[in-house]
Structure 1
Amino acid sequence: MFTDLPIIVTGAAGNVGGAAARLLAERGARVAAVDMVKDRLEAAVAALPHAERHLACAGVDLLDPAACAALVARVTASFGGLYGVVTTVGGFAMAPLDQTGLADWDRMFALNVKTTWAIYQAAVPALRARGGGALVGVGSVAGLKGGAQMAPYAATKAAVLRLTESLADELRSEHIRVNAVMPTTIDTPQNRAAMPDADTTRWVTPEQVAETMLFLLSGAASGVTGQLVQVG
């Protein structure tokens, strides 16, 4: 499905990003795995099928446009181009109004929106150069309807959804597709620790989220752009 296609995966040492990188590698892609945590990233890449075909890109600051541009330049030089980006970097926090400051807003906006914008902005020239490609991000159902004590998180995930729709419309004529998934609660060790009494049977797995992202990235979704797909 992805034979020899060069694809960047951000957050590749994390739960969803790790699942996406592994599934892409299994299906023949050449993966440029990006994460801040060097040892975890290198271990994750070493465990991928045909590890020698992939890149471990540690320590890339996705809030720095120059660092994102340098990442894309490295990937295109190593792989001969770029087909797509799967971006899974983000953050979550909950707090009531009187315990939420502007720093909390800034952190959520940086993690959820700016990281997505910066890697997309850096990647688009490389996608143009090959005649098109695909960008897939992570929103949340909280971006459709907010919940108590989740104002900064919900608002910034809503921003990711509007960013996705806007870029899809902007880039459609250049054959660059932009879509996002909207997971419900993902079954991760972190969420299990934070919500020990929750009914986890209703949660989605990182692999289910990653599979949906890969569909949106793939040629099977060649006519799909500007879509916000709920998972779970």
Structure 2
Amino acid sequence: MNGKQVLLTGGTGGLGMGVTPLVLTRGAKVTIPYRNSAEVDRLKGILSPSDFEKIRFVAVDLTDETAVKNLVNDMGRVDVLIHLVGGFSMGKTHEYAFEDWKKDFDLNLHSTFLACKYSLAKMLERDYGRIVTVGSRGAVQPGGQMAAYSASKAGVVALTLAIAEETKDTNITANCVLPSVIDTPTNRDAMGAENADRWVKPESLGQVICFLASEAAGDVRGAAVPVYGNI
């Protein structure tokens, strides 16, 4: 990704803590949208000052279409989209509030659609691009009390594979990864750390993501790559 313009959403989150440093080591020029300055400070704590200075941070609500459009247009070009933004939720279907259901789809699916829509338009102008999204094991193996999460992540997978079909015969690829439980501080707080050694490490998932985002993955399109750890 040397010299490539990379839009890295969720780069300040738990998964981003593992992915962002890997993207930077590959020589990318990185733009990271964020919601609050605390997220940026957290990332600053794990990067060297020189690496931190390579990132362009932009305050953006990724569920706001106009904001996403302006974000992408201001970049000039987008060579790579790595979309990490998402969230996990649980609840029995018959008890789940419709407002919460819609929030899950806004966060997991609608943000993915908007980021892909405007990044893809830029990529088509130059006939080059790499799109990598994050689905979930739950998208292909739904579990109980995970209806909203699994359905919204299944939409991410379907969207990504549809883009891959639309971009055949171009130098644009679209692929997604399907992690199981990721070893993040949030998941440790919610689930305990007893089995964390079996979960997927952010850095391990980041290696897969960075490959799919690279020029070397030009022949990989429409893949949904399982990254399940030892679960």
Normalised by the length of structure 1, the TM-score is 0.92
Structure 2 match to 1:37 = 36
Structure 2 unaligned residues grouped into runs of 5+: none
Structure 1 runs of 4+ with >4 Å offset: none
**CA-to-partner distance for each residue in 1:27-64, whole Å, 9 max, x for gaps?**
21111012212242256268354433321112x11111
Provide the C-alpha distance between the structure 2 equivalents of 1:18 and 1:91, rounded to a whole number of angstroms. 15
Amino acid at match of 1:52: E
Structure 1 match to 2:216 = 220
Structure 2 match to 1:21 = 20
Structure 1 residues 1-232: aligned runs within 5 Å: 2-41=1-40, 44=43, 47=47, 49-58=50-59, 60-76=60-76, 81-196=77-192, 198-232=194-228
Fraction of identical pairs, as percent: 33
Contact 1:93 1:153 in 2 (8 A): yes
Amino acid at match of 2:210: L
Provide the C-alpha distance between the structure 2 equivalents of 1:195 and 1:44, rounded to a whole number of angstroms. 23
Partner SS, residue 15 of structure 1: coil
Question: Mean alpha-carbon deviation: is it higher for 49-58 or for 90-99?
Answer: 49-58
CA, structure 1 residues 45+129, in 2 after alignment: closer, same or farther (shift >3 Å)?
Answer: farther
Contact 1:34 1:41 in 2 (8 A): no
Provide the C-alpha distance between the structure 1 equivalents of 2:93 and 2:81, rounded to a whole number of angstroms. 35
* C-alpha RMSD of matched pairs (Å): 1.6
**Pairwise CA distance, 1:142:** 0.4
Provide the C-alpha distance between the structure 2 equivalents of 1:120 and 1:45, rounded to a whole number of angstroms. 27
Provide the C-alpha distance between the structure 1 equivalents of 2:19 and 2:180, rounded to a whole number of angstroms. 17
Structure 1 unaligned residues grouped into runs of 5+: none
Q: Could you say which structure has the greater relative contact order, defined with CA pairs below 8 angstroms and 6 or more residues apart?
A: 2
Amino acid at match of 1:101: A
Normalised by the length of structure 2, the TM-score is 0.92
Question: Mean alpha-carbon deviation: is it higher for 180-189 or for 14-23?
Answer: 14-23
Partner SS, residue 121 of structure 1: helix
**Pairwise CA distance, 1:12:** 1.2
Amino acid at match of 1:54: I
Contact 2:108 2:153 in 1 (8 A): yes
